[in-house]
Every structure is written in C-alpha cells, then in structure tokens.
Amino acid sequence: MKKIITLVLLMATYIVSAQQMPNIKCAPARNAQQPLWVVNDVVLTDEKVSSIVQKSLKSDDIESINVLKDASAVAIYGNKAKGGAIVVTLKKSNDTSSNDKAVESLSVTGVPSNTDLLVIVDGKEMYATEATNFMSNISPEKIDSITVLKDPIALTKYGDKGKNGVLIVTLKK
C-alpha cells in the first residue's frame, strides 16, 4: 500500500511540474494618448487635475461611468479626445444647503486680508483686497462660472500661490 501511495504522489508531482506557465510579455503602447476625463459634464483638460480627480473619486459617489473610444469620443469632444474619453457622472448630493436656482444676488465678504486666497478672473490673478473690491462691484448676471480649487488640486495647478485655495471666475463675454 505504501508503494502505491508513493507511486501516485510521484506521478502527481511529475504531472504538476510538467506544466509550464506561458511567458507573456506586455509592451507599453507607443504614442498612446491619455483619455480625456469628463466629470459631471466638466471637461478636465489638465493632466495633473485629471490624475488628482482619478485618485480622489470614491466609488460611493459615482452614479455611472461611460468609456468612449475612437470616433465616438472625437465626435462628442473633438480632437482632444483622440485617446478616448472617460465620462463620469456623480450621484446627486443629499446636501440640502445648496440648490440649483439662479443666483439672485452675490456678495463677497469675510475674506481676511491676510489670507492669500488666489482669485483668477478671466485669467487675471488677484489677491484678497483687490478681489473683494472687484467681486463686490460685479453683477451676478455677468458671471458665467465660478470654480473653487483647494488642497492638492490647487497646489498642483498653481503651486505655492494656490496653497490657500483658488477661486476661478469666468465672466460672460
């Protein structure tokens, strides 16, 4: 009986060791373009911002992800989507403090003058006092969008100037 068990174990060892794993090598794609990231209909064109968004997205916040390739991506987003597009739709927040109603009035108060908050209005950089004066004198109808960048995104995009946050204001043309 011991001889039979030994013989079976030897044969099993031989059969298992006769199996070879295939040697597959993967080469990186040449001239591969990075996909364009779109989060809630906002196109992220800066690669640094895109990579930070990729790292900070949480699966619980995502409603859907669509991957567009080739002609379908270019048809929607143009040549900047030659490498494809990753379209992320986030879930609606349960935060009741915000709403989607139009802004009736706008005032900027409470920005301490010692805060180096970087404010960029149509590409022009401003700091606390100048920005407060400018924003206090502009009507909400003239504002197209306001974007707030903070923490790693502001630092990555604007360096040390963005360490206390960045407020990007785009005016209507």
Across the chain, mean pLDDT equals: 76
CB of 166 closer than 8 Å to CB of 120: yes
- Pick 142 or 23 by higher pLDDT: 142
Residues 86 and 40 in one domain: yes
Tokens of 32: 């591969």
129 in a structural domain: yes
> Is residue 125 included in any domain, yes or no?
yes
Q: Give pLDDT tens digits for 40-92.
A: 888 876 666 667 677 777 778 888 888 998 888 888 888 888 888 888 888 87
Name every residue whose Cβ is closer than 8 Å to that of residue 67 and which is 6 or more positions away in sequence.
35, 84, 85, 86, 87
Q: Angle 151-158/47-56 helices, nearest 10 degrees?
A: 170
22 in a domain, yes or no?
no
> pTM, whole model, 2 decimals?
0.41
Q: Are residues 125 and 161 in the same domain?
A: yes
Same domain assignment for residues 126 and 164: yes
**Domain span at 165:** 118-171
pLDDT of residue 88: 85
Report the number of distinct structural domains present in the chain: 2
Query: Is 7 a domain residue?
Result: no
| Residue after which a domain boundary falls, among 90, 110, 128 | 90
- pLDDT tens digits for 91-128? 876 554 444 445 454 455 555 555 677 888 888 888 76
**DSSP state for residue 101 in the 8-state scheme:** S
Q: Flag whether 103 is in a domain.
A: no
Is residue 126, in this structure, part of any structural domain at all? yes
Q: Are residues 43 and 79 in the same domain?
A: yes
Q: Among residues 90, 109, 136, which one ends one of the domains?
A: 90
DSSP three-state, residue 30: coil
